[in-house]
Structure 1
Protein backbone atom coordinates (compact mmCIF):
# COMPACT_ATOMS: atom_id res chain seq x y z
CA UNK A 1 0.00 0.00 0.00
CA UNK A 2 1.17 3.52 -0.78
CA UNK A 3 2.76 5.35 2.16
CA UNK A 4 2.32 8.90 0.85
CA UNK A 5 -0.01 10.08 -1.90
CA UNK A 6 -0.13 13.38 -3.77
CA UNK A 7 -3.69 14.46 -4.54
CA UNK A 8 -3.65 16.96 -7.41
CA UNK A 9 -6.68 19.20 -7.69
CA UNK A 10 -6.73 18.70 -3.96
CA UNK A 11 -9.09 21.58 -3.25
CA UNK A 12 -11.68 20.50 -5.84
CA UNK A 13 -14.87 18.44 -5.77
CA UNK A 14 -13.21 15.04 -5.77
CA UNK A 15 -9.66 15.90 -4.68
CA UNK A 16 -10.73 17.34 -1.33
CA UNK A 17 -12.84 14.27 -0.66
CA UNK A 18 -10.07 11.89 -1.72
CA UNK A 19 -7.58 13.58 0.61
CA UNK A 20 -10.01 13.48 3.53
CA UNK A 21 -10.72 9.77 3.02
CA UNK A 22 -7.02 8.94 2.78
CA UNK A 23 -6.28 10.78 6.02
CA UNK A 24 -9.20 9.00 7.72
CA UNK A 25 -7.64 5.72 6.60
CA UNK A 26 -4.34 6.67 8.21
CA UNK A 27 -2.51 7.40 4.94
CA UNK A 28 -0.45 10.56 4.48
CA UNK A 29 -2.10 12.68 1.81
CA UNK A 30 -0.46 15.78 0.35
CA UNK A 31 -2.69 18.28 -1.40
CA UNK A 32 -1.41 19.61 -4.72
CA UNK A 33 -2.67 23.15 -5.21
CA UNK A 34 -1.63 26.40 -6.85
CA UNK A 35 -2.27 28.22 -3.58
CA UNK A 36 -0.90 26.19 -0.66
CA UNK A 37 -1.90 27.43 2.79
CA UNK A 38 -1.88 24.34 5.03
CA UNK A 39 1.01 22.14 6.25
CA UNK A 40 -0.21 19.26 4.06
CA UNK A 41 -0.41 21.46 0.94
CA UNK A 42 2.21 21.40 -1.79
CA UNK A 43 2.48 23.99 -4.54
CA UNK A 44 1.47 22.31 -7.78
CA UNK A 45 0.70 23.61 -11.24
CA UNK A 46 0.60 21.30 -14.27
CA UNK A 47 2.06 24.06 -16.43
CA UNK A 48 5.03 24.73 -14.11
CA UNK A 49 7.59 21.91 -14.01
CA UNK A 50 9.35 23.48 -11.04
CA UNK A 51 6.35 22.38 -8.97
CA UNK A 52 7.11 18.71 -9.73
CA UNK A 53 8.85 18.65 -6.35
CA UNK A 54 5.34 18.10 -4.92
CA UNK A 55 5.77 14.46 -5.97
CA UNK A 56 8.92 13.97 -3.89
CA UNK A 57 8.51 11.13 -1.39
CA UNK A 58 5.17 10.02 -2.86
CA UNK A 59 4.42 6.46 -3.97
CA UNK A 60 1.15 7.26 -5.74
CA UNK A 61 -0.75 10.20 -7.19
CA UNK A 62 -4.36 11.10 -7.88
CA UNK A 63 -4.45 13.03 -11.14
CA UNK A 64 -6.99 15.75 -11.87
CA UNK A 65 -6.44 17.46 -15.23
CA UNK A 66 -6.38 21.27 -15.47
CA UNK A 67 -9.76 22.77 -16.29
CA UNK A 68 -8.50 25.85 -18.14
CA UNK A 69 -7.47 24.01 -21.30
CA UNK A 70 -8.30 20.98 -23.45
CA UNK A 71 -4.80 19.90 -24.63
CA UNK A 72 -4.30 17.82 -21.53
CA UNK A 73 -1.60 15.41 -22.65
CA UNK A 74 0.62 18.23 -23.91
CA UNK A 75 0.73 19.88 -20.50
CA UNK A 76 0.47 16.77 -18.28
CA UNK A 77 2.97 14.41 -19.95
CA UNK A 78 6.15 16.32 -18.93
CA UNK A 79 4.92 16.47 -15.32
CA UNK A 80 4.00 12.76 -15.32
CA UNK A 81 7.47 11.90 -16.57
CA UNK A 82 8.90 13.98 -13.72
CA UNK A 83 6.67 12.16 -11.23
CA UNK A 84 7.95 8.80 -12.45
CA UNK A 85 11.56 10.00 -12.23
CA UNK A 86 10.89 11.09 -8.62
CA UNK A 87 9.64 7.64 -7.60
CA UNK A 88 5.88 7.72 -8.09
CA UNK A 89 4.76 4.20 -9.02
CA UNK A 90 0.94 4.30 -9.04
CA UNK A 91 -1.24 6.76 -10.97
CA UNK A 92 -5.02 7.09 -10.70
CA UNK A 93 -6.47 9.47 -13.30
CA UNK A 94 -9.84 11.17 -13.07
CA UNK A 95 -11.29 11.14 -16.58
CA UNK A 96 -14.91 11.06 -17.73
CA UNK A 97 -17.35 8.43 -18.91
CA UNK A 98 -17.59 9.83 -22.44
CA UNK A 99 -13.82 10.15 -22.91
CA UNK A 100 -12.60 6.86 -24.33
CA UNK A 101 -8.92 5.86 -24.35
CA UNK A 102 -7.11 7.77 -27.07
CA UNK A 103 -9.92 10.29 -27.31
CA UNK A 104 -9.65 14.02 -26.61
CA UNK A 105 -8.64 15.65 -23.34
CA UNK A 106 -8.10 13.03 -20.60
CA UNK A 107 -8.55 10.24 -23.15
CA UNK A 108 -5.04 10.94 -24.47
CA UNK A 109 -3.63 10.90 -20.95
CA UNK A 110 -5.44 7.59 -20.33
CA UNK A 111 -3.62 5.98 -23.25
CA UNK A 112 -0.27 7.48 -22.26
CA UNK A 113 -0.54 6.03 -18.74
CA UNK A 114 -1.49 2.60 -20.09
CA UNK A 115 1.50 2.60 -22.44
CA UNK A 116 4.12 4.13 -20.16
CA UNK A 117 3.41 3.10 -16.57
CA UNK A 118 3.18 -0.28 -14.85
CA UNK A 119 0.58 0.61 -12.23
CA UNK A 120 -2.37 2.75 -13.28
CA UNK A 121 -6.13 3.11 -13.13
CA UNK A 122 -8.50 5.50 -14.88
CA UNK A 123 -11.80 6.48 -13.28
CA UNK A 124 -14.41 7.56 -15.81
CA UNK A 125 -17.34 8.93 -13.81
CA UNK A 126 -20.55 10.17 -15.29
CA UNK A 127 -21.65 13.71 -14.48
CA UNK A 128 -21.30 14.80 -10.85
CA UNK A 129 -24.41 15.31 -8.73
CA UNK A 130 -22.44 18.12 -7.06
CA UNK A 131 -22.58 20.09 -10.31
CA UNK A 132 -26.09 20.96 -9.17
CA UNK A 133 -24.94 22.27 -5.79
CA UNK A 134 -21.32 23.47 -6.16
CA UNK A 135 -20.99 24.38 -9.85
CA UNK A 136 -22.75 26.61 -12.37
CA UNK A 137 -26.04 24.77 -11.90
CA UNK A 138 -25.87 25.57 -8.19
CA UNK A 139 -25.55 29.28 -8.96
CA UNK A 140 -28.49 29.31 -11.36
CA UNK A 141 -30.50 27.22 -8.88
CA UNK A 142 -30.01 29.84 -6.20
CA UNK A 143 -30.45 32.87 -8.43
CA UNK A 144 -33.16 31.70 -10.84
CA UNK A 145 -34.54 28.38 -9.63
CA UNK A 146 -33.36 26.92 -12.96
CA UNK A 147 -30.76 24.66 -14.55
CA UNK A 148 -29.57 25.01 -18.14
CA UNK A 149 -28.43 22.28 -20.54
CA UNK A 150 -28.40 21.10 -24.15
CA UNK A 151 -29.20 17.51 -23.14
CA UNK A 152 -32.77 17.29 -24.41
CA UNK A 153 -34.47 14.30 -22.81
CA UNK A 154 -31.23 12.31 -22.62
CA UNK A 155 -30.54 10.49 -19.38
CA UNK A 156 -27.40 10.45 -17.22
CA UNK A 157 -26.24 8.12 -14.45
CA UNK A 158 -25.40 11.07 -12.18
CA UNK A 159 -22.86 10.14 -9.49
CA UNK A 160 -22.09 11.61 -6.09
CA UNK A 161 -18.57 13.03 -5.71
CA UNK A 162 -18.21 11.09 -2.49
CA UNK A 163 -18.64 7.85 -4.40
CA UNK A 164 -15.99 8.93 -6.91
CA UNK A 165 -13.63 9.68 -4.02
CA UNK A 166 -14.32 6.30 -2.44
CA UNK A 167 -13.52 4.59 -5.75
CA UNK A 168 -10.34 6.65 -6.09
CA UNK A 169 -9.15 5.68 -2.61
CA UNK A 170 -9.87 2.03 -3.39
CA UNK A 171 -7.77 2.29 -6.56
CA UNK A 172 -4.97 4.21 -4.84
CA UNK A 173 -4.72 1.68 -2.00
CA UNK A 174 -5.45 -1.58 -3.84
CA UNK A 175 -2.98 -4.38 -3.00
CA UNK A 176 -2.04 -4.77 -6.66
CA UNK A 177 -2.11 -2.80 -9.90
CA UNK A 178 -5.57 -2.45 -11.45
CA UNK A 179 -4.33 -1.41 -14.91
CA UNK A 180 -7.84 -0.79 -16.17
CA UNK A 181 -10.48 1.90 -16.49
CA UNK A 182 -13.81 1.94 -14.66
CA UNK A 183 -16.94 3.78 -15.76
CA UNK A 184 -18.58 5.07 -12.58
CA UNK A 185 -22.28 5.93 -12.30
CA UNK A 186 -24.94 6.37 -9.70
CA UNK A 187 -27.71 3.79 -9.22
CA UNK A 188 -30.08 5.15 -11.88
CA UNK A 189 -30.09 7.14 -15.11
CA UNK A 190 -32.09 10.38 -14.99
CA UNK A 191 -32.86 13.16 -17.44
CA UNK A 192 -32.29 16.77 -16.42
CA UNK A 193 -36.07 17.08 -16.24
CA UNK A 194 -36.07 14.17 -13.76
CA UNK A 195 -33.33 15.86 -11.72
CA UNK A 196 -35.26 19.14 -11.71
CA UNK A 197 -38.39 17.32 -10.49
CA UNK A 198 -36.48 15.65 -7.64
CA UNK A 199 -34.90 18.95 -6.58
CA UNK A 200 -38.31 20.66 -6.80
CA UNK A 201 -39.86 18.07 -4.50
CA UNK A 202 -36.97 18.32 -2.04
CA UNK A 203 -36.96 22.11 -1.96
CA UNK A 204 -40.72 22.54 -2.00
CA UNK A 205 -40.51 25.06 -4.85
CA UNK A 206 -40.26 24.74 -8.64
CA UNK A 207 -36.92 24.11 -10.31
CA UNK A 208 -36.97 24.59 -14.10
CA UNK A 209 -34.85 22.81 -16.68
CA UNK A 210 -34.16 25.31 -19.47
CA UNK A 211 -33.24 23.53 -22.69
CA UNK A 212 -30.72 25.41 -24.87
CA UNK A 213 -29.20 24.81 -28.28
CA UNK A 214 -25.51 23.83 -28.02
CA UNK A 215 -24.32 27.17 -29.40
CA UNK A 216 -26.40 29.05 -26.84
CA UNK A 217 -25.02 26.87 -24.05
CA UNK A 218 -21.45 27.55 -25.23
CA UNK A 219 -22.14 31.28 -25.18
CA UNK A 220 -23.65 31.05 -21.71
CA UNK A 221 -20.67 29.15 -20.28
CA UNK A 222 -18.17 31.48 -21.96
CA UNK A 223 -20.02 34.49 -20.54
CA UNK A 224 -19.53 32.95 -17.09
CA UNK A 225 -15.77 33.02 -17.63
CA UNK A 226 -15.10 29.54 -18.99
CA UNK A 227 -12.49 29.33 -21.79
CA UNK A 228 -14.36 29.15 -25.10
CA UNK A 229 -12.79 25.88 -26.24
CA UNK A 230 -13.69 24.22 -22.96
CA UNK A 231 -17.25 25.58 -23.16
CA UNK A 232 -17.59 24.16 -26.68
CA UNK A 233 -16.37 20.77 -25.47
CA UNK A 234 -18.95 20.69 -22.66
CA UNK A 235 -21.70 21.67 -25.10
CA UNK A 236 -20.70 18.81 -27.41
CA UNK A 237 -20.88 16.44 -24.45
CA UNK A 238 -24.41 17.68 -23.75
CA UNK A 239 -25.25 16.89 -27.38
CA UNK A 240 -23.92 13.38 -26.83
CA UNK A 241 -26.15 13.04 -23.77
CA UNK A 242 -29.15 14.07 -25.88
CA UNK A 243 -28.27 11.18 -28.21
CA UNK A 244 -28.33 8.70 -25.27
CA UNK A 245 -24.54 8.37 -24.88
CA UNK A 246 -24.81 8.51 -21.07
CA UNK A 247 -27.99 6.46 -20.67
CA UNK A 248 -26.48 3.64 -18.59
CA UNK A 249 -25.54 2.52 -15.12
CA UNK A 250 -22.66 0.31 -13.98
CA UNK A 251 -21.77 -1.63 -10.83
CA UNK A 252 -18.21 -0.27 -10.74
CA UNK A 253 -18.65 1.76 -7.54
CA UNK A 254 -19.97 -1.24 -5.65
CA UNK A 255 -17.26 -3.53 -7.04
CA UNK A 256 -14.47 -1.14 -6.08
CA UNK A 257 -15.78 0.05 -2.71
CA UNK A 258 -18.28 -2.55 -1.54
CA UNK A 259 -20.89 0.21 -1.14
CA UNK A 260 -24.04 0.97 -3.12
CA UNK A 261 -23.72 4.45 -4.72
CA UNK A 262 -25.76 7.37 -3.40
CA UNK A 263 -29.12 8.08 -5.08
CA UNK A 264 -30.02 11.49 -6.49
CA UNK A 265 -32.80 11.80 -3.90
CA UNK A 266 -30.29 11.35 -1.08
CA UNK A 267 -27.92 13.84 -2.69
CA UNK A 268 -30.74 16.41 -2.99
CA UNK A 269 -31.67 16.01 0.68
CA UNK A 270 -28.06 16.61 1.68
CA UNK A 271 -27.64 19.58 -0.67
CA UNK A 272 -30.71 21.57 0.35
CA UNK A 273 -28.63 24.07 2.32
CA UNK A 274 -26.62 24.97 -0.78
CA UNK A 275 -29.78 26.08 -2.57
CA UNK A 276 -31.24 28.26 0.14
Structure 2
Protein backbone atom coordinates (compact mmCIF):
# COMPACT_ATOMS: atom_id res chain seq x y z
CA UNK A 1 0.00 0.00 0.00
CA UNK A 2 1.33 3.46 -0.84
CA UNK A 3 1.36 6.29 1.65
CA UNK A 4 -1.64 8.59 1.74
CA UNK A 5 -0.24 11.57 3.65
CA UNK A 6 0.41 11.89 7.37
CA UNK A 7 -2.06 10.73 9.98
CA UNK A 8 -2.08 12.22 13.46
CA UNK A 9 -3.22 9.50 15.85
CA UNK A 10 -4.40 11.07 19.09
CA UNK A 11 -4.33 8.67 22.02
CA UNK A 12 -1.69 6.51 20.34
CA UNK A 13 -0.94 4.66 23.59
CA UNK A 14 -4.59 3.70 24.11
CA UNK A 15 -6.56 0.58 23.29
CA UNK A 16 -7.60 1.53 19.75
CA UNK A 17 -5.07 4.30 19.10
CA UNK A 18 -2.06 2.04 19.58
CA UNK A 19 -3.53 -0.60 17.30
CA UNK A 20 -4.50 1.94 14.64
CA UNK A 21 -1.06 3.57 14.65
CA UNK A 22 0.65 0.18 14.41
CA UNK A 23 -1.52 -0.92 11.48
CA UNK A 24 -0.93 2.34 9.64
CA UNK A 25 2.87 2.19 9.98
CA UNK A 26 2.92 -1.50 9.06
CA UNK A 27 1.10 -0.61 5.84
CA UNK A 28 3.63 2.09 5.00
CA UNK A 29 1.69 5.18 6.04
CA UNK A 30 3.30 8.13 7.78
CA UNK A 31 2.06 8.50 11.36
CA UNK A 32 2.44 11.03 14.13
CA UNK A 33 1.80 9.14 17.37
CA UNK A 34 0.37 11.61 19.88
CA UNK A 35 -0.05 11.31 23.61
CA UNK A 36 0.52 13.27 26.78
CA UNK A 37 4.01 11.77 27.00
CA UNK A 38 4.71 11.41 23.25
CA UNK A 39 3.63 7.92 22.28
CA UNK A 40 6.27 5.44 21.15
CA UNK A 41 5.06 3.41 18.17
CA UNK A 42 7.64 1.66 15.95
CA UNK A 43 7.91 3.53 12.66
CA UNK A 44 5.89 6.53 13.86
CA UNK A 45 6.97 10.03 14.83
CA UNK A 46 6.29 10.59 18.55
CA UNK A 47 4.66 13.90 19.45
CA UNK A 48 3.35 15.26 22.72
CA UNK A 49 -0.37 16.10 22.79
CA UNK A 50 -2.71 17.14 25.58
CA UNK A 51 -6.31 18.14 24.88
CA UNK A 52 -6.12 20.68 27.70
CA UNK A 53 -2.78 22.19 26.64
CA UNK A 54 -3.34 24.05 23.33
CA UNK A 55 0.37 24.81 23.13
CA UNK A 56 0.92 21.13 22.25
CA UNK A 57 -1.48 21.25 19.32
CA UNK A 58 0.69 23.15 16.86
CA UNK A 59 3.50 20.59 16.65
CA UNK A 60 0.99 17.74 16.61
CA UNK A 61 -0.87 19.18 13.62
CA UNK A 62 2.23 20.20 11.65
CA UNK A 63 2.23 18.25 8.38
CA UNK A 64 -0.85 16.14 9.18
CA UNK A 65 -3.65 15.87 6.63
CA UNK A 66 -5.85 13.41 8.55
CA UNK A 67 -6.49 12.70 12.20
CA UNK A 68 -7.79 9.87 14.36
CA UNK A 69 -9.57 11.37 17.34
CA UNK A 70 -9.79 9.79 20.78
CA UNK A 71 -11.84 12.10 23.06
CA UNK A 72 -10.40 13.12 26.42
CA UNK A 73 -11.17 10.41 28.95
CA UNK A 74 -13.64 11.13 31.73
CA UNK A 75 -14.82 14.45 30.31
CA UNK A 76 -18.61 14.78 30.16
CA UNK A 77 -18.31 17.77 27.78
CA UNK A 78 -15.43 16.93 25.39
CA UNK A 79 -16.76 19.31 22.73
CA UNK A 80 -15.49 22.25 24.77
CA UNK A 81 -11.88 21.29 23.99
CA UNK A 82 -12.33 19.20 20.86
CA UNK A 83 -14.21 21.66 18.65
CA UNK A 84 -11.64 24.48 18.96
CA UNK A 85 -8.92 21.93 18.15
CA UNK A 86 -10.84 20.64 15.12
CA UNK A 87 -11.33 24.14 13.75
CA UNK A 88 -7.61 24.69 14.19
CA UNK A 89 -6.90 21.35 12.49
CA UNK A 90 -8.98 22.30 9.47
CA UNK A 91 -7.14 25.62 9.17
CA UNK A 92 -3.81 23.76 9.44
CA UNK A 93 -4.62 21.53 6.45
CA UNK A 94 -6.29 18.45 7.96
CA UNK A 95 -8.90 17.28 5.46
CA UNK A 96 -10.10 13.98 6.94
CA UNK A 97 -11.13 13.28 10.54
CA UNK A 98 -12.16 9.95 12.04
CA UNK A 99 -13.73 10.17 15.48
CA UNK A 100 -13.99 7.36 18.02
CA UNK A 101 -17.39 7.57 19.69
CA UNK A 102 -19.64 4.82 21.09
CA UNK A 103 -22.58 2.74 19.94
CA UNK A 104 -24.40 4.13 22.98
CA UNK A 105 -24.00 7.77 21.90
CA UNK A 106 -25.91 8.97 18.86
CA UNK A 107 -25.25 12.10 16.82
CA UNK A 108 -26.17 15.09 18.95
CA UNK A 109 -26.32 12.93 22.07
CA UNK A 110 -24.46 13.55 25.32
CA UNK A 111 -20.69 13.92 25.64
CA UNK A 112 -18.96 13.08 22.32
CA UNK A 113 -22.32 13.14 20.54
CA UNK A 114 -21.94 16.91 20.15
CA UNK A 115 -18.59 16.43 18.39
CA UNK A 116 -20.18 13.82 16.13
CA UNK A 117 -22.87 16.31 15.18
CA UNK A 118 -20.33 19.03 14.34
CA UNK A 119 -17.86 16.89 12.38
CA UNK A 120 -19.59 16.94 8.93
CA UNK A 121 -19.68 20.72 9.03
CA UNK A 122 -15.95 20.92 9.71
CA UNK A 123 -14.55 18.38 7.23
CA UNK A 124 -15.57 17.20 3.77
CA UNK A 125 -14.05 13.79 4.58
CA UNK A 126 -15.00 12.20 7.88
CA UNK A 127 -16.26 9.16 9.76
CA UNK A 128 -17.53 8.46 13.25
CA UNK A 129 -16.75 5.01 14.63
CA UNK A 130 -19.38 3.89 17.13
CA UNK A 131 -18.09 0.61 18.56
CA UNK A 132 -19.93 -1.45 21.10
CA UNK A 133 -18.20 -2.35 24.38
CA UNK A 134 -14.64 -3.62 23.96
CA UNK A 135 -13.78 -7.29 24.43
CA UNK A 136 -10.51 -5.98 25.93
CA UNK A 137 -12.54 -4.79 28.94
CA UNK A 138 -12.11 -8.34 30.26
CA UNK A 139 -8.33 -8.24 30.00
CA UNK A 140 -5.72 -5.59 30.75
CA UNK A 141 -6.47 -2.82 33.24
CA UNK A 142 -10.21 -2.22 32.84
CA UNK A 143 -12.31 -2.45 36.02
CA UNK A 144 -13.97 -5.64 34.74
CA UNK A 145 -10.58 -7.25 34.13
CA UNK A 146 -9.36 -6.24 37.59
CA UNK A 147 -12.51 -7.64 39.18
CA UNK A 148 -12.08 -10.92 37.32
CA UNK A 149 -8.47 -11.28 38.44
CA UNK A 150 -9.01 -10.21 42.03
CA UNK A 151 -12.36 -11.79 42.91
CA UNK A 152 -13.65 -13.68 39.87
CA UNK A 153 -16.47 -11.13 39.61
CA UNK A 154 -17.94 -8.90 36.90
CA UNK A 155 -20.06 -6.14 38.44
CA UNK A 156 -22.75 -4.42 36.35
CA UNK A 157 -26.25 -2.97 36.42
CA UNK A 158 -27.10 -4.52 33.04
CA UNK A 159 -29.31 -7.36 34.26
CA UNK A 160 -30.01 -9.79 31.41
CA UNK A 161 -29.16 -7.22 28.75
CA UNK A 162 -26.95 -8.28 25.85
CA UNK A 163 -24.09 -6.43 24.13
CA UNK A 164 -22.38 -7.02 20.78
CA UNK A 165 -18.88 -6.85 22.30
CA UNK A 166 -16.23 -5.95 19.71
CA UNK A 167 -12.51 -6.62 19.43
CA UNK A 168 -10.31 -3.50 19.57
CA UNK A 169 -8.27 -4.99 16.70
CA UNK A 170 -11.41 -4.94 14.56
CA UNK A 171 -12.04 -1.31 15.49
CA UNK A 172 -8.48 -0.44 14.45
CA UNK A 173 -8.88 -2.31 11.15
CA UNK A 174 -11.99 -0.26 10.36
CA UNK A 175 -10.26 2.95 11.50
CA UNK A 176 -7.42 2.36 9.04
CA UNK A 177 -9.87 1.90 6.18
CA UNK A 178 -11.78 5.03 7.20
CA UNK A 179 -8.53 7.01 7.33
CA UNK A 180 -6.87 5.75 4.16
CA UNK A 181 -9.46 4.60 1.61
CA UNK A 182 -9.74 6.78 -1.46
CA UNK A 183 -13.23 7.89 -0.40
CA UNK A 184 -14.08 8.62 3.21
CA UNK A 185 -17.16 6.90 4.68
CA UNK A 186 -18.81 10.26 5.48
CA UNK A 187 -21.15 8.52 7.89
CA UNK A 188 -21.21 6.93 11.31
CA UNK A 189 -20.33 3.25 11.62
CA UNK A 190 -21.71 1.05 14.40
CA UNK A 191 -19.18 -1.71 15.12
CA UNK A 192 -19.96 -4.96 16.91
CA UNK A 193 -18.64 -8.47 17.23
CA UNK A 194 -20.39 -11.47 15.69
CA UNK A 195 -22.85 -12.07 18.54
CA UNK A 196 -24.58 -10.25 21.37
CA UNK A 197 -23.82 -11.65 24.83
CA UNK A 198 -25.10 -11.01 28.34
CA UNK A 199 -22.58 -10.59 31.14
CA UNK A 200 -23.74 -13.95 32.50
CA UNK A 201 -22.68 -15.49 29.19
CA UNK A 202 -19.40 -13.56 29.24
CA UNK A 203 -18.69 -14.86 32.74
CA UNK A 204 -19.23 -18.43 31.52
CA UNK A 205 -16.84 -17.86 28.60
CA UNK A 206 -14.27 -16.28 30.93
CA UNK A 207 -14.53 -19.29 33.25
CA UNK A 208 -13.82 -21.56 30.30
CA UNK A 209 -10.93 -19.40 29.04
CA UNK A 210 -9.17 -18.97 32.39
CA UNK A 211 -10.06 -22.27 34.08
CA UNK A 212 -11.12 -20.17 37.07
CA UNK A 213 -14.69 -19.45 38.20
CA UNK A 214 -16.02 -16.08 37.05
CA UNK A 215 -19.51 -14.81 37.94
CA UNK A 216 -21.60 -11.80 36.98
CA UNK A 217 -22.78 -9.92 40.05
CA UNK A 218 -25.81 -7.71 39.42
CA UNK A 219 -26.24 -4.42 41.25
CA UNK A 220 -28.67 -1.51 40.95
CA UNK A 221 -28.21 1.54 38.79
CA UNK A 222 -27.95 3.75 41.88
CA UNK A 223 -25.31 1.58 43.50
CA UNK A 224 -23.24 1.48 40.32
CA UNK A 225 -23.44 5.27 39.98
CA UNK A 226 -22.30 5.72 43.57
CA UNK A 227 -19.39 3.30 43.13
CA UNK A 228 -18.25 5.09 39.97
CA UNK A 229 -18.52 8.50 41.63
CA UNK A 230 -15.68 7.50 43.94
CA UNK A 231 -13.36 7.34 40.91
CA UNK A 232 -14.61 10.06 38.53
CA UNK A 233 -16.74 13.22 38.34
CA UNK A 234 -20.35 12.64 39.36
CA UNK A 235 -21.77 13.72 35.99
CA UNK A 236 -19.61 11.24 34.06
CA UNK A 237 -20.34 8.46 36.59
CA UNK A 238 -24.04 9.06 36.05
CA UNK A 239 -23.59 8.86 32.28
CA UNK A 240 -21.84 5.49 32.56
CA UNK A 241 -24.45 4.13 34.96
CA UNK A 242 -27.20 5.25 32.57
CA UNK A 243 -25.51 3.23 29.83
CA UNK A 244 -25.76 0.09 31.96
CA UNK A 245 -29.46 0.78 32.49
CA UNK A 246 -29.94 1.20 28.74
CA UNK A 247 -28.23 -2.15 28.17
CA UNK A 248 -30.61 -3.76 30.64
CA UNK A 249 -33.47 -2.34 28.56
CA UNK A 250 -32.06 -3.87 25.33
CA UNK A 251 -30.37 -0.85 23.72
CA UNK A 252 -27.19 -2.77 22.78
CA UNK A 253 -28.73 -6.13 21.84
CA UNK A 254 -27.66 -6.05 18.19
CA UNK A 255 -24.94 -6.98 15.75
CA UNK A 256 -23.87 -5.24 12.54
CA UNK A 257 -21.99 -6.27 9.41
CA UNK A 258 -19.74 -3.18 9.42
CA UNK A 259 -16.46 -4.98 10.20
CA UNK A 260 -17.14 -7.53 7.46
CA UNK A 261 -18.06 -4.84 4.91
CA UNK A 262 -15.07 -2.62 5.53
CA UNK A 263 -12.34 -5.19 6.17
CA UNK A 264 -13.53 -8.11 4.03
CA UNK A 265 -13.46 -10.57 6.93
CA UNK A 266 -15.81 -11.42 9.79
CA UNK A 267 -15.30 -9.83 13.21
CA UNK A 268 -13.45 -11.83 15.85
CA UNK A 269 -15.47 -13.66 18.48
CA UNK A 270 -14.88 -13.38 22.22
CA UNK A 271 -13.34 -16.83 22.68
CA UNK A 272 -10.71 -16.18 20.01
CA UNK A 273 -9.91 -12.74 21.40
CA UNK A 274 -9.56 -14.02 24.97
CA UNK A 275 -7.24 -16.78 23.78
CA UNK A 276 -5.07 -14.21 22.00
CA UNK A 277 -5.11 -11.58 24.76
CA UNK A 278 -4.49 -14.01 27.61
CA UNK A 279 -1.60 -15.57 25.70
CA UNK A 280 -0.09 -12.08 25.50
CA UNK A 281 -0.45 -11.64 29.25
CA UNK A 282 -3.66 -9.60 29.22
Common topology (TM > 0.5): yes
Would the aligned equivalents of 2:164 and 2:193 in 1 still touch at CA under 8 Å?
Answer: yes
TM-score normalised by length of structure 2: 0.94
* Shift, 1:2, TM fit: 2.9
Corresponding position of 2:51: 46
Corresponding position of 2:22: 20
Would the aligned equivalents of 1:127 and 1:156 in 2 still touch at CA under 8 Å?
Answer: yes
State the distance in 1 between where 2:51 and 2:39 align: 18
| Superposed counterparts of 1:96-107, under 5 Å | 96-107=102-113
1:138 and 2:145 matched: yes
Point out where structure 1 has 5 or more consecutive residues left out of the alignment.
Answer: none
* Shift, 1:222, TM fit: 3.0
Greater Cα shift, 200-209 or 10-19: 200-209
Corresponding position of 1:156: 163
Would the aligned equivalents of 1:141 and 1:147 in 2 still touch at CA under 8 Å?
Answer: yes
Q: Indicate which of 206, 212, 221 corresponds to 2:213.
A: 206
State the distance in 1 between where 2:221 and 2:31 align: 40
What's the secondary structure of 1:14's corresponding residue?
Answer: helix
1:12-57 deviation digits (Å, cap 9, x = unpaired): 0000000000011000111110112647221111122211110110
* CA RMSD across the alignment: 1.5
TM-score normalised by length of structure 1: 0.96
Would the aligned equivalents of 1:96 and 1:126 in 2 still touch at CA under 8 Å?
Answer: yes
Would the aligned equivalents of 1:91 and 1:120 in 2 still touch at CA under 8 Å?
Answer: yes
Distance 1:178 1:243, change over 3 A: same
Total equivalences in the alignment = 275
Distance 1:13 1:187, change over 3 A: same
Distance 1:103 1:239, change over 3 A: same
Q: Indicate which of 76, 80, 86 corresponds to 1:70.
A: 76
Would the aligned equivalents of 1:35 and 1:43 in 2 still touch at CA under 8 Å?
Answer: yes
1:259 and 2:265 matched: yes
| Superposed counterparts of 1:233-272, under 5 Å | 233-272=239-278
What's the secondary structure of 2:146's corresponding residue?
Answer: helix
State the distance in 2 between where 1:115 and 1:81 align: 10
1:105-162 deviation digits (Å, cap 9, x = unpaired): 1111011001222110000000000011121111111111111111100000000000
